[in-house]
Amino acid sequence: MNKTRTIFAAVGLVLVVSLIGGACSFSVGTNSTESPSNKPVAINTNSGTPSPTSPPAPSKNVDIAGKYDAVGTNPDGGGEYKAELTVTKRDDVYQFSWVSGKSSYDGVGVLMDGEVAVSYTDGPDGKGCGVVLYKIAADGSMNGKVGYWGTNTMETESAKRTSGTDLEGSYDIEGKNPEGKSYKGKLDVKKEGEGYRFNWDAGSQFSGFGIRAGEFVAVGFGGKQCSFVGYDVKADGTLDGKWGGQGSTKFGTETAKRK
């Protein structure tokens, strides 16, 4: 998003994937309380079978609405930050609102099976930003939930791979938009730095940038002003994520604990 957030000298914060744009960077000030500007949605990269002493997995229907204290690190070694995060349920989607010092950020998020994807921008609203959270099946196909800032009804999309390996490749897509109208099109996915570039063509062409964590991919879109975050919802309700955008050589991190 090419914006800068000022962050607490000790620690800073931020969230969901930057589409078609660079990741926002946060500057570290000696007495600053601002969080990073374009943070991504964070997704847990740990996988494996839980040990007998592991805490129970979070409910797939967990409600993440509430107030959080967040701390994090900026992409590319840009320092630490702190922020206050408010998550508000808006029918099918969630509104994510951060405040750090005099700066504010707002975006839209979707929840699926204990994972959250968010796209956001700086300012009092996240106008123009959208987010997709895909779950990857064993055959490489993807099923996703799509959220648009300012629209409370979720969109759904499925993508069937026609060529490529792993996540990279070409896909046939079909879905149903928030108005209930069906659509079909094409999707190309390419590896780019630590993330992936998504290019859709479904009557109109647009791009997004996302991060993969295991069987999930969080993608943000909407232009250079939008960033992304991928979160894993822990058993205690903590949101543990990674964020960034196009151009990030290393993603930032964010941990948000309920107040």
Q: pLDDT tens across 76-135, in order?
A: 777 899 999 999 999 999 999 999 888 899 999 999 999 999 999 988 888 899 999 999
Mean pLDDT estimate for the chain: 80
Report the 10 Å Cβ neighbour count for 146: 25
pLDDT at position 131 is 96
The CA distance from 83 to 89, in Å, is 20
**Is 50 exceeded by the pLDDT of residue 11?**
no
**Is 80 exceeded by the pLDDT of residue 169?**
yes
**51 to each of 15, 117, 235, 238, how far by Cα in Å?**
30, 27, 14, 20
pLDDT at position 134 is 98
Beta-sheet strands, E only, within the chain? 4-7, 25-28, 66-73, 80-90, 93-100, 103-112, 115-122, 130-136, 142-148, 151-163, 169-176, 182-192, 195-201, 205-213, 216-221, 227-233, 239-244, 252-258
User: Where is pLDDT greater, at 3 or 144?
Assistant: 144
Dihedral (CA of 56, 58, 60, 61) sign = positive
Q: pLDDT tens across 193-240, in order?
A: 888 999 999 988 999 998 999 999 999 999 888 888 999 999 999 999
> Residue range 165-193: average pLDDT?
95
DSSP summary character for residue 44: -
pTM > 0.85: yes or no: no
The CA distance from 213 to 134, in Å, is 10
**67 to each of 83, 84, 200, 220, 238, how far by Cα in Å?**
11, 7, 34, 23, 11
| CA dihedral of 230, 234, 238, 239, whole degrees rounded to 10 | 0
- Phi then psi for 133, rounded to 5 degrees? -120, 110
pLDDT at position 27 is 30
pLDDT at position 44 is 39
Q: pLDDT tens across 40-74, in order?
A: 333 333 444 444 444 444 445 688 999 999 999 98
pLDDT at position 74 is 85
pLDDT at position 49 is 42
Q: pLDDT tens across 244-253, in order?
A: 866 666 889 9
Amino acid, single-letter form, for residue 62: V
The CA distance from 3 to 97, in Å, is 16
- In terms of phi and psi (left: phi > 0; alpha: psi -120 to 50; beta: otherwise), the region of 248 is beta
**Residue linked to tokens 């601002």:** 34
pLDDT at position 193 is 84
Tokens of 9: 């000298």
Tokens of 53: 């002493």
